[in-house]
Amino acid sequence: MNARIRPLFLGLLLSASVALSAQESPPGKVIVSYSLEHLDRRASNQLAVWIEDAEGRYVRTLFATDFMARRKGFLLRSQCCPEWVKASGLAEMTEAQIDAISGATQSPGRISLSWDCTDQKGKAVPPGVYLYKAEGNISFETRVLWTGRIKVGKIADSSRAAPQWLPEKPAEGAELLTRVGARFQPSER
């Protein structure tokens, strides 16, 4: 290689390598939080929290109740968070993948879950707008689906999600999930 071209080539190679490294590290973390109420009724208290990209493509699950996910409750009761079951591809997940996302029914109170801005394979997601969703079974087919948008990038962001009651809003005092929101904190570089 020509002596004058070689330093230029090595400089470009180094720049590309640095840019690639920057893309591979997550841009920060998102904290999704919500208030959880325990409902003393049959076919309730199942919940899932997950992330999708701006086009609605599944990215990663942050939490799903053990009964629904690991113990296959979604097969026994098709009303167990059907939006999440479909989005996540739960039926095709391995035992290890399910174990990584599922946990016991959470205690009532304020809950915070952390997303490290990686997809289900552990690869850093690109900056952009992401949807965070929380779906909960209130009783049999009555459920709530909270959806919010959060911008992942170089500056902090926060937002509140909005609920959609399916098929309709239940009686007062049967809300399961309230005050769903998220905040993004960029990585320090």
CATH of the domain at 63: 2.60.40.4070
Would you say residue 11 lies in a domain? no
Backbone angles phi, psi at 9, to 5 degrees: -60, -45
Of the pLDDT bands very low, low, confident and very high (cuts 50, 70, 90), residue 80 is: confident
Least confident range from 127-131, 137-141, 163-167: namely 137-141
Would you say residue 9 lies in a domain? no
pLDDT for position 20: 38
Would you say residue 7 lies in a domain? no
| Mean pLDDT for the stretch of residues 89-93 | 92
pLDDT for position 189: 66
pLDDT for position 7: 43
Q: What's the pTM value of the predicted model, to 2 decimals?
A: 0.85
pLDDT for position 21: 41
Of the pLDDT bands very low, low, confident and very high (cuts 50, 70, 90), residue 13 is: very low
> Total domain count for the chain?
1
More confident of the two residues 135 and 79: 135
> Whole-angstrom Cα distance, residue 98 to residue 64?
9
Would you say residue 89 lies in a domain? yes
Full residue range of the structural domain in which residue 182 is found: 26-186
Would you say residue 4 lies in a domain? no
Would you say residue 129 lies in a domain? yes
Would you say residue 153 lies in a domain? yes
pLDDT for position 6: 44
Would you say residue 141 lies in a domain? yes
